[in-house]
Amino acid sequence: MPKLVGFSRFAALLEEQISEKISRRILSGDQGMIVWWSIGAGVHVEPHSHPNEQIVWNRLGSEQRVCDQGDVIVIPGGTEHEAWFREDSEVITWSSIRAIAVTIMPTRRAVC
Residue 60 has pLDDT above 80, yes or no: no
Selection from 91, 84, 31 nearest residue 55 by Cα: 91
Bigger pLDDT: 100 vs 40: 40
The predicted pLDDT at position 100 comes to 43
Can you give the pLDDT at residue 52?
82
69-82 pLDDT per residue, tens: 777 888 888 888 88
Q: What is the residue-wise DSSP string for 23-76?
A: EEEEEE-SSEEEEEEEE-TTEEEEEE--SS-EEEEEEES-BTTTBPTT-EEEE-
In the CATH hierarchy, which fold is given to the domain comprising 13-109?
A: Jelly Rolls (2.60.120)
pLDDT interval class at 61 (50, 70, 90): low
| Residue spans per domain, the chain | 13-109
